[in-house]
Amino acid sequence: MALKVVLLSHSPEPERAVATAARNCYSPRDIETIDENWTQEEVEAMVARVRDAGHLSTFEHTMFTFGVSGVSRALTHQLVRHRHMSYEQKSQRYIKVKGQFEFITPPSISARPEIKAKYDTLMAQIADFYAEALAAGTPAEDARFALPNAAETQIVITANARALLDFFTLRTCNNAQWEIRELAFAMLRLAKRAAPALFVRAGATCVRGYCNEPNGPECPRYVVVRNPVAARRRAGVDEDGPERSNPEIVADQQTAALAG
């Protein structure tokens, strides 16, 4: 089964929720009127103001819930390291696998027929062992010890926009592992559709004009920061990918910051 990501729900008007939280800091309005009379332009201007100021606690007044399937346990093991997001994962204790369990095959294995054949055989052997262990009375919670990282799983993720921004920064980076990177881009596309103003500059740090990765200079996106047109073409950046910062503006801002 292929990766599938759906945005199950999100807080109503998440951009407005952020703007209202921010207005509470900057406006003399009382609490009953703090959320009144917003225009979309005002909401976006307020979001941009707090975003650019790094006042990102305002982004925490939102909630996005994603449903994810067709991913490996290797992915979810990495995913749950992000401590500000909440998870519910399909249980291998309560759900016994019948027959061949679903598993993810990395493209690098699919591309090598001999290795792929051995991989499939190994998965079949594991499934046989698992069935035999269950039949012999081994509890599912113990039989699952034999299931591999490749075993397919399903997970629900809930996070606020700030936690998502952190996640997108680390996991859309070319340095991230391919499967979690695909997930991060899929989630980013959905989040951006639901709340464009919150996620307009979301993505790896190169989207915002810098790169801390030691192997950054080897990355095609590293060039994006300096020569966006050529590198965009070379890197085959997908249309729904995050917007790129204008390198000249970034350079000017950096110069101004250093000078100031």
Number of residues that bind ligand FAD (CB under 6 A): 8
**Through-space distance between the first and last CA atoms of the chain, rounded to whole angstroms:** 53
For residue 86, state whether it binds ligand FAD (rule: CB under 6 A).
no
CB 245 within 8 A of CB 253: no
Query: Least distance (Å) from ligand FAD to the CB of residue 215?
Result: 10
Q: How many residues does the chain have?
A: 260
Contact between residue 15 and residue 47 where contact means Cβ atoms under 8 Å apart: yes
Piece of 4-12, 81-89, 112-120, 136-144 that binds ligand FAD (CB under 6 A): 81-89
Residue among 23, 51, 171, 189 flagged as catalytic: 171
Q: Does residue 56 belong to the site contacting ligand FAD (CB under 6 A)? A: no
**Residue 228 neighbours by CB distance under 10 Å:** 18
Among 82, 116, 208, 232, binds ligand FAD (CB under 6 A): 82
Asked if 84 interacts with ligand FAD (CB under 6 A), we say: yes
Among residues 81, 93, 226, 233, which is the contact residue for ligand FAD, using CB under 6 A? 81
Distances from the Cα of 136 to the Cαs of 53, 92, 93, 140, 196, in angstroms?
A: 61, 18, 16, 11, 54
Q: Binder to ligand FAD among 7, 146, 170, 251 (CB under 6 A)?
A: 170
Cβ count within 10 A of residue 106: 15
Instruction: Rank residues 63 and 134 by Cβ distance to ligand FAD and give the closer one.
Output: 63
Do residues 216 and 201 make contact, with C-beta atoms less than 8 angstroms apart? no
Verify binding: residue 166, ligand FAD, rule CB under 6 A: yes
Element (H, E) at 164: helix 161-171
Please indicate whether residue 234 is annotated as part of the active site. no
Decide: is 83 part of the binding site for ligand FAD (CB under 6 A).
yes
Q: Nearest to residue 162, comparing CAs of 198, 186, 136, 210? A: 198
The residues that touch ligand FAD, with contacts defined as CB under 6 A, are 81-84, 166, 170, 175-176
Residues belonging to the active site: 171
